[in-house]
Amino acid sequence: MAILMLVLMAGCMAPDRVRYSETAAVNARIEGFGDIRTYADTGRQLPDARAWLAMPRHRDANYLVLSGGGAGGAFSVGVLKAWSDRKGRPEFDIVSGVSTGALIAPLAFLGPAYDDTLVDLYTSGVAKELVDADFLPKALLGSSLLKQEPLRRMVERHLTQEILEKIAAEHRKGRRLLVLTSNLDSQRPVVWNMGAIADSGQPDALKLFQDIIIASASIPGVFPAVLIKVTAGGEEFEEMHSDGGSSSQILTIPEGWMASPRQAPWPKGLKLNMYVIVNNALVPEFSTTTNNTLAVMARASAALIKSQTRSALVATYVYGQKNGIRFRVASIDRQIPYKITDPFNTNYMRAVYHLGYAEMASGRLWKDQPVFADLAAANPPQSPQ
């Protein structure tokens, strides 16, 4: 009861926000920027197809999808590093990222030259800087388990003006970088055209770019949500954006398009190769659940994420079968112990990094359909190295 009272008190201490209407939410725009975002659940055409859809220079287009998964993002980094070392990694026409995938996506978009930076971020132990040793008791009196400042410093250190200009240059070539956030006020997934933001020429483009990445990576309750200033009808207010993974762990094809009777929104004859890297285990992971609040919440959340991600993968696969997409998916198919009380454990991150690297290097990584249940028996648990 005492803990419950502390949590309720923390909610009462939250700073006030300017309230706004649903109509204002629909019409909200970011001052000085054009059509840089859309709802992922909309069925309408994108605001400007030329600015949103990739313009591949070849008949084959390559789409890299990086999922959420927190520390499990090291798995994607291992895959990308091995892919580069094998000399077969394509230049992706589209890269999308959600949550930890959003942190990886900008550097993955720029290619193998940034592999070592990603490896350092996900395996050197610097991620431990995100965690305060006393984060659990402090969280009871705050809005989140962890402070935003260490995450913001990490993003600002690696996503610089130089990186922004390089992304803008690739956007002008017809390549696209997309990131998903969750608008908590509207309860809707928002797709951001990050290349268009980078290429906008606005003085605050870098700040907005960084804010979106931080928002997408801000797991609700773990990191604070990000407030983004918008205007509608001459009035200014702030939207609250948080983890894209709250809406979907992957950004493949917007769900509105999947449900639309219209044909696929890309040129006829184009062959789309989609590579989905899931930074999480989708196989069942048996463990006798400790009978306490945190453990039960963690296990239930993990089950929900698995189910949500599987459903999204199946929907994408079915859509791809109808529209000529060459579908490939990879996930963490080993049970590697993970403690929610140590969310950025370096040994865990190194273990999943090496798993991703080894699976890619061996040629065993990709599966051509989303079937995972029978992998559990074939791949027994292992410990972090």
pLDDT score recorded for residue 45:
59
First to last CA, the chain: 40
Return d(Cα 350, Cα 347) in angstroms, integer: 5
Which DSSP helix (H) or strand (E) runs through 323?
helix 293-323
pLDDT score recorded for residue 244:
93
| Mean pLDDT for the chain overall | 86
pLDDT score recorded for residue 5:
38
99 is an active site residue: yes
pLDDT score recorded for residue 47:
56
The pLDDT of residue 48 is above 80 = no
Catalytic residue among 243, 246, 247, 333: 243
Of the candidates 117, 105, 147, the one whose C-alpha atom is nearest the C-alpha of residue 130 is 147
Of the candidates 27, 40, 98, 17, the one whose C-alpha atom is nearest the C-alpha of residue 64 is 98
**Model confidence pLDDT, tens digit, residues 306-318:** 889 999 999 999 9
Query: What fold does the segment set 18-378 form as a domain?
Result: Cytosolic phospholipase A2 catalytic domain (3.40.1090)
* Cβ count within 10 A of residue 275: 22
Catalytic residue among 96, 99, 246, 247: 99
- C-alpha torsion sign, points 379, 330, 105, 301: negative
Beta strands in the chain (DSSP E): 37-39, 60-66, 94-98, 176-183, 188-193, 226-232, 235-242, 271-278, 325-331
The pLDDT of residue 8 is above 60 = no
pTM of the complete model: 0.89
- Give the CB-side neighbour count of residue 79, counting CA atoms within 13 A: 27
Q: Are 228 and 30 in contact (CB under 8 A)?
A: yes
**Model confidence pLDDT, tens digit, residues 95-104:** 999 999 999 9
Region 38-43 average pLDDT:
83
pLDDT score recorded for residue 384:
52
Q: What are phi and psi of 310, to 5 degrees?
A: -60, -45
Strand partners, 181: 190
The pLDDT of residue 66 is above 70 = yes
pLDDT score recorded for residue 292:
85
**Model confidence pLDDT, tens digit, residues 137-168:** 555 445 556 677 889 999 999 999 999 999 99
Return d(Cα 246, Cα 41) in angstroms, integer: 14
Strands 94-98 and 37-39, sheet pairing: unpaired
